[in-house]
Every structure is written in C-alpha cells, then in structure tokens.
Amino acid sequence: MNMNRQVSNQKTENVITEHKTVKVDGLSVFYREIGDQTKPKLVLLHGWPSSSHQYRNLIPALSSHFHVVAPDYPGFGNSEFPSPDDFNYTFDRISEVTEDFLKAIDFTHFGLYMQDYGGPVGFRIITRHPKWLEWLILQNTNAYEIGFTSAWDGLRNALWKNRTPETEAPLYGFLKIDTIKQVYLHGHKNPTAISPDNWNMDFSFLERPNARRQQMDLFYDYRKNVQLYPKWQKFLRDRQPKALIFWGQNDIFFTREGGEAYLKDLPNAEMHRLDSGHFAVEDCLYEIPTGMVRFYLEKVVSER
C-alpha cells in the first residue's frame, strides 16, 4: 500500500488530523484521519457537492472516542479525478472504490455516518457487507420517495426519463457558485456561522476540466438509487442496526418527511430534528458530536 501523509495543525486533546492518500484500484484516494487506532472505528461519507472537507470540524470533535476516517470519492475533493472517458462515474463504481479503500486501510467493522451522497455509497457497501456495520448515523441522506423536495423536479421529471442536451441544460445551474452557496446557507438560522470557504472550494473543484460531465453523469445515475430504496429499507428492517438520525429540518433537497420515514423501518432509532439545513454539521457542531458519543456509549457499548 502506497501512502503519503501530510499533518495539519488542527488539534484536539493533543491529537492531530492527518491528511493522507492511498492507492486504491489504481487511483489516489485522499482521506482525513484522526484518533487512536485502538479506539472504535468510525467512517464519515460526504455529500454533494462537497468532500471530506465538510467534516473538517466534526473529525477532531470525535477524536477522543473514535478512530475516524473520511475519504474523498474519486473525482471529488483531493482524490484523483480520472476523465469520464476512463472512469465510470456511477454510484456503483464509487461505492466499489470506497469499499476497496476501507479494505486497504483495514476498516472492516465500524460506525458509519452518511450524509447526502454518502447514503447511496454507504448503503451499497453495508448491504454487500452487513457484518462491517457496527452502528449507523444518518444525516440528511435520502432512502424514501417522500424525501425529495421540488429541487429534484428537473431530475425526476425530465433528466431521469430522457437524458438529452435539453434536459441537461437547466441542471447546469446547480454547478454555479451562487447555487452552491445557497445549498450551504438555505435553512441555516445563522448564515454567518458558515464559512464561505465551503462553496468557494467546492466551486473551484467543479471548474476543473470534465467536472461538469462527471457531475451530470452522477445526476443521471442517481435514478438508480431510487430503484434500490426498497432493498435498503428492507436491510434496515431486517438488520435493525443501532441508528442515530440527525435531520436538518430546512434542507433544500430532502424533506422532513424523508427523515421521519426512517422511523417506520427503524422504530428504535433515536431522532434529532435540527433547526438547520443540508449541511447541519456546519452549525450544529455541539449537538452532533456530543450526541454521537453519548449514543455510542449508551446504546451501542452498553447493549452489546
């Protein structure tokens, strides 16, 4: 395994966040890591249009109790960005690379935090390897038809039915900096708490050659996630993992009803309804990590 390491100056309790790369399936995969390797493992899977950068503050807040990793998917953040001519940008393929990444760093039993795109990636992995999952954290990631807001209309009613230049054209608006900024700020009660580094950095990655095609490929492929919703729901019903749900109530993409729907399949899950938006970790940095630590100690460790 080829690995490079860059150490940041972000510290908590004398533990530092490390920024690493590892070769997986011929690609350089970037990831952030923190914590004692003897501690319980925790994987954070990011959403759109971000990268592991969205967890830059959450990661050190969890380091006293967990060994945490947060990768960037291929074509996102600081991971290698192969051309769409050479790499199939689908959720199936991204999940395969992420699965091989976890094997490469010896993460095969862990808690899993999934937000947005992290759900389609993570559900694929844990349905293939159910024994890998120790416990589950769901934060504004959809697995129910009722979970879509009207922001999805251009995908659900046009692109997914017939991918053409005409159905793609309106969706390129999602890749503009003003739209990305709105994704971060919509529904957040204190916009000044959210750093503009988020949308500025995301937009810079979206300006790379082939990025628009890569993103459109994934927009189109998202329809296959919906086809898998019944399988994922059955997995939750049958396995009943210890589950903690944080749901930003004002998400621009996913409805409140989408969060509540999980409780039908996970009646014992613990639900936290946050006065926040899509990226709740930006302004709920006390509620989320403290809730995770308490839940793990009370519900996962104590009930083994």
- The answer to whether position 220 is within a domain reads no
Q: For residue 120, is it within any domain?
A: yes
Cβ contacts of 76 within 8 Å, gap of 6 or more = 46, 50, 51, 205
How far apart are the C-alpha atoms of 18 and 124, rounded to whole Å? 27
Looking at every residue in the chain, the average pLDDT score rounds to 95
Residue 212: inside a domain: no
Q: Where residue 8 falls among pLDDT bands split at 50, 70, 90? A: very low
pLDDT in tens, 131-183: 999 999 999 999 999 999 999 999 999 999 999 999 999 999 999 999 999 99
Where residue 201 falls among pLDDT bands split at 50, 70, 90?
very high
Look at the block and give the residue holding tokens 């990793």. 69
173 within some domain: no
For range 74-89, the mean pLDDT:
97
pLDDT range class, residue 7, cuts 50, 70, 90: very low
pLDDT bin (cut points 50, 70, 90) of residue 303 is confident
**Catalytic residue set:** 278
Tell me the mean pLDDT in the region 269-278. 98
Question: Contact at 8 Å (CB) between 188 and 276?
Answer: yes
Residue 69 CA to its chain's centroid (Å): 12
Q: Give the CATH number of the domain where residue 275 resides.
A: 3.40.50.1820
Q: Is the pLDDT of residue 1 over 50?
A: no
Whether residue 2 is predicted with pLDDT greater than 60 in this model: the reply is no
pLDDT digits (tens, 9 = 90+) for 202-239: 999 999 999 999 999 999 999 999 999 999 999 999 99
* In the predicted structure, residue 12 carries a pLDDT above the cut 60: no
pLDDT band at 10 (very low <50, low <70, confident <90, very high): very low
Q: How many domains does the chain have?
A: 1
Q: In the predicted model, what is the mean pLDDT of residues 185-189?
A: 95
Domain that holds residue 38: 3-150+226-301
Is 53 a domain residue?
Answer: yes
Check: CB of residue 76 under 8 Å from CB of residue 46: yes
Provide long-range contacts, Cβ within 8 A and 24+ apart, for 94-99: 94/121, 95/120, 95/121, 95/122, 95/124, 95/125, 96/25, 97/24, 97/25, 97/27, 97/29, 97/73, 98/45, 98/71, 98/73, 98/125, 99/124, 99/125, 99/128, 99/129
Answer yes or no: is 8 within a domain. Answer: yes
Percentage of residues in the chain having pLDDT higher than 70:
95
In this structure, how many other beta carbons lie within 10 angstroms of the beta carbon of residue 107? 17
Structural domain includes residue 182: no
Per-residue confidence (pLDDT) for residue 11, from 0 to 100: 44
Task: Flag whether 92 is in a domain.
Answer: yes
